[in-house]
Chains A and B, each alone.
Chain A
Amino acid sequence: MSKLQFQPCCNRALLSSLLLAIGSLAAMSAWADATADLPVEIAELNAPPLVPAPITRKTPAKVVVNLTTEEVIREITPGTKYMFWTFGGTVPGRMIRVRQGDTVELHLKNLPSSKVPHNIDLHAVSGPGGGAPQTLIAPGKDATFTFKALNPGLYVYHCATAPVAMHIANGMYGMILVEPEAGMAPVDKEYYVMQGDFYTPGAFGAGGLQPFDMQRSIDENASYILFNGASNSLTGKNALTANVGDKVRLYFGSGGPNVASNFHVIGAIFDKVYTEGGLKYQEQVQTTTVPPGGSTIVEFVPKVPGNLTLVDHALSRAFHKGAIGIMSVSGEEHPEIYSKAATAKAEH
């Protein structure tokens, strides 16, 4: 049995970490003074595809975010169940919306009913691990982590507990929007959609309660590629809705763990794509690529009524693995833009 031994390097490191600890105590009290006067807000967290309301504040606040980690069995496609590991019980996890310059106090609670430990790494954090080291929690425990949202943009958050690919493959991701200080232009409809890949021994829709398939995950051989964690989360009665002429904004991300999205909306052209979730936009885009752990913000205006179809335009994923969603558009026909009836064939 091997005994743990202090290496010479480690003694030095221990000493320096002690000094660091003393330094950071001083830093912490200075920080506490700086944030003491901030107004405190409890973040509004909505289940996807809903988005928290735009921020109207013009000054920084301390935003308290209460997130849970929950392991839930739910249908991945009608007739087939899967044990999802989630933030807040949904895939993706609740969307967080803050303003650039806000101080975010994140409380993460791992429900006692959980089987495994979890934590959170937010890509909006500047600092090693993105919050993961501070938030690793066993079932029944909670942790608090505070960071300042320095950079505006749309950022993925995810669980980073070993084995990390399994935690993400089970659905442990979501997004945090850091609005720029100047705010965002108002739109008529905002929605929150994330793509993720899932791995089961059975093929798509095989039935029963399907377990996670480690080998298929390592081989990147997905059984399901889904929007919002189920093949029907954005179809039928769950379809997104908009009216003709609405300005629509989609906050779209890829949870992965392995598969990048080729995001396209059949029947629409993106007026603006805030590429990779950043501040600059491209115009007149048909399809945009979103890597795992990445995001995009797209804006478009439906011109005529009917169903628009959200897909991963690597189309086998849409038609065989579930990456499909519907936006149902109502309003007046505009035949000058789109003639609904097929042109009559010439008769002989």
Chain B
Amino acid sequence: MKTATACFAFVLGCLHAADYVPIAGGTLRTALPLDGETVPVAAFQMRSKPVTNAEFLLFVLANSEWQRRNAPTLYATNAYLSQWRSATDFAPLPPNAPVTNVSWFAASAYCASEGAALPSWTQWEFAAAADAVRTDARHDPAWRAQILGWYEKPSVESLPDVGLHPANIYGVHDLHQLIWEWVDDFNGLFVTVDSRAQGEQKVLETCGAASLSLGDKENYAVLMRIALLAALNGQDSVGSLGFRCVKPAQ
């Protein structure tokens, strides 16, 4: 609570501007091949940590339309920030834990307020392919097993702080093992929700985007991310779902 109290006293000064780190971009072998198995990813910057409760509080204080009593249900269901004590008090949640129970619309508005945007799926997937020493660790069974472990742990009422997991090679923390994360184009992924559909049926169900043949079939952690995003609507809020933002490369 100390941090929160300090924030009320020094609203402008208490939190550092969010830390964005450069990601060089390159060619991504994607789990969601829209046109061929690889996609080019241009250089961008990504928040090194997910947005926290304390950061999101400042946002709703400055943008009262995003306080939970004000947000229209079209943009946020009543699960929005439902764990907060009030519209402007995140207690009993810790200040440095990732903010969750935020809708896609609220997350997008937050990123815009920071001169940023939600990452695209391919940007998120590109950054999340890295471990501490490799830009693409996905072929490593030990690493895959380690990140897969999180999905089998029960959800917890109170999430740990951001930044406790070691940074990956770009300096980005918590892409795995802390929360689910919104992406900008989640509803354009058009994953057929029936994970076994193939061929023709899939093309029809997924029109609007290209057909989907799940690539990277042995990366179960990423397949679960895709399934979760496919289950969501933009106004939904989930207790284990937060977000981070990206900016164009400098």
Contact (Cβ within 8 A) B240 A115? yes
Q: A17-B207, A112-B155, A166-B220 are in contact. Are A2 and B39 (CB under 8 A)?
A: yes
Which chain B residue lies CB-closest to A17?
Answer: B207
Which chain B residue lies CB-closest to A72?
Answer: B154
Point out the residue from A4, A17, A139 that lies within 8 Å of B238, measured CB to CB: A139
Chain B residues closer than 8 Å to A10, beta-carbon distance: 207-208
**Cα of A162 to Cα of B231 in the assembled complex, Å:** 11
* Contact stretch, chosen from B6-14, B45-53, B221-229: B221-229
**Cα of A129 to Cα of B193 in the assembled complex, Å:** 9
Rounded to whole Å, the gap between the CB of A287 and the closest CB of chain B is 30
- Give B59-96 as 1s and 0s: 1 = Cβ < 8 Å from A's Cβ atoms: 00000000000000000000100000000000000000
Point out the residue from A7, A137, A212 that lies within 8 Å of B152, measured CB to CB: A212
Whether B123 sits at the interface, judged by CB under 8 Å, is yes
Rounded to whole Å, the gap between the CB of B241 and the closest CB of chain A is 8
Whether B42 sits at the interface, judged by CB under 8 Å, is yes
**Cα of A213 to Cα of B240 in the assembled complex, Å:** 23
Which chain B residue lies CB-closest to A167?
Answer: B195
Which chain B residue lies CB-closest to A214?
Answer: B220
Whether B115 sits at the interface, judged by CB under 8 Å, is no
Point out the residue from A133, A166, A214 that lies within 8 Å of B193, measured CB to CB: A133
Contact (Cβ within 8 A) B224 A116? yes
Which chain A residue lies CB-closest to B230?
Answer: A136
Contact (Cβ within 8 A) B154 A83? yes
Rounded to whole Å, the gap between the CB of A31 and the closest CB of chain B is 22
Chain A residues closer than 8 Å to B217, beta-carbon distance: 163
Chain A residues closer than 8 Å to B58, beta-carbon distance: none
Contact (Cβ within 8 A) B207 A9? yes
**Cα of A212 to Cα of B122 in the assembled complex, Å:** 27
Contact (Cβ within 8 A) B42 A1? yes
Rounded to whole Å, the gap between the CB of B203 and the closest CB of chain A is 8
Select the residue from A6, A116, A163, A215 with max chain B CB neighbours within 10 A.
Answer: A163
Select the residue from A128, A136, A213, A215 with max chain B CB neighbours within 10 A.
Answer: A136
Rounded to whole Å, the gap between the CB of B3 and the closest CB of chain A is 27
Contact (Cβ within 8 A) B123 A138? no
**Cα of A14 to Cα of B210 in the assembled complex, Å:** 13
**Cα of A129 to Cα of B208 in the assembled complex, Å:** 20
Whether A19 sits at the interface, judged by CB under 8 Å, is no
Chain B residues closer than 8 Å to A161, beta-carbon distance: 193, 195, 227
* Contact stretch, chosen from B131-139, B162-170, B184-192: B184-192
**Cα of A160 to Cα of B154 in the assembled complex, Å:** 20
Contact (Cβ within 8 A) B152 A115? yes
Whether A57 sits at the interface, judged by CB under 8 Å, is no
Chain A residues closer than 8 Å to B185, beta-carbon distance: 4
Whether B145 sits at the interface, judged by CB under 8 Å, is yes
Contact (Cβ within 8 A) B191 A138? no
Which chain A residue lies CB-closest to B191?
Answer: A162
Whether B19 sits at the interface, judged by CB under 8 Å, is no
Contact (Cβ within 8 A) A162 B214? yes
**Cα of A94 to Cα of B189 in the assembled complex, Å:** 33
Select the residue from A1, A9, A73, A117 with max chain B CB neighbours within 10 A.
Answer: A1
Point out the residue from A2, A14, A112, A141 that lies within 8 Å of B231, measured CB to CB: A141
Contact (Cβ within 8 A) B152 A83? yes
Whether A164 sits at the interface, judged by CB under 8 Å, is yes
From residue 129 to 154 of chain B, which have CB atoms closer than 8 A to chain A? 141, 144-145, 148-154
Whether A132 sits at the interface, judged by CB under 8 Å, is yes
Contact (Cβ within 8 A) A1 B123? yes
Contact (Cβ within 8 A) A163 B152? no
Whether B181 sits at the interface, judged by CB under 8 Å, is no
Rounded to whole Å, the gap between the CB of B190 and the closest CB of chain A is 8
Chain B residues closer than 8 Å to A212, beta-carbon distance: 148, 152
Point out the residue from A4, A164, A218 that lies within 8 Å of B196, measured CB to CB: A164
- Give B28-55 as 1s and 0s: 1 = Cβ < 8 Å from A's Cβ atoms: 0000001100011110000000000000
From residue 117 to 131 of chain B, which have CB atoms closer than 8 A to chain A? 120, 122-123
From residue 194 to 227 of chain B, which have CB atoms closer than 8 A to chain A? 194-197, 201, 203-205, 207-210, 214, 217-218, 220, 223-224, 226-227
**Cα of A112 to Cα of B145 in the assembled complex, Å:** 25
Contact (Cβ within 8 A) A218 B155? no
Chain B residues closer than 8 Å to A215, beta-carbon distance: 141
Contact (Cβ within 8 A) A214 B232? no
Rounded to whole Å, the gap between the CB of B76 and the closest CB of chain A is 14
Q: A1-B122, A6-B208 are in contact. Are A137 and B231 (CB under 8 A)?
A: yes
**Cα of A163 to Cα of B31 in the assembled complex, Å:** 12
**Cα of A160 to Cα of B230 in the assembled complex, Å:** 13
From residue 201 to 258 of chain A, which have CB atoms closer than 8 A to chain B? 211-215, 218
Whether A315 sits at the interface, judged by CB under 8 Å, is no
Chain A residues closer than 8 Å to B205, beta-carbon distance: 133
Contact (Cβ within 8 A) A138 B228? yes
27 A-B residue pairs with CB within 8 Å? A1-B41, A1-B42, A1-B122, A1-B123, A4-B208, A9-B203, A14-B208, A73-B154, A112-B155, A112-B239, A113-B154, A115-B155, A116-B151, A116-B224, A117-B228, A133-B194, A137-B231, A138-B232, A139-B238, A140-B238, A140-B239, A162-B226, A163-B220, A212-B148, A214-B148, A215-B141, A218-B218
Given contacts A117-B228, A162-B191, 14 further A-B contacts (CB under 8 A): A1-B42, A2-B34, A14-B208, A115-B240, A116-B228, A132-B194, A136-B227, A139-B238, A139-B240, A161-B193, A163-B217, A163-B224, A211-B148, A212-B148
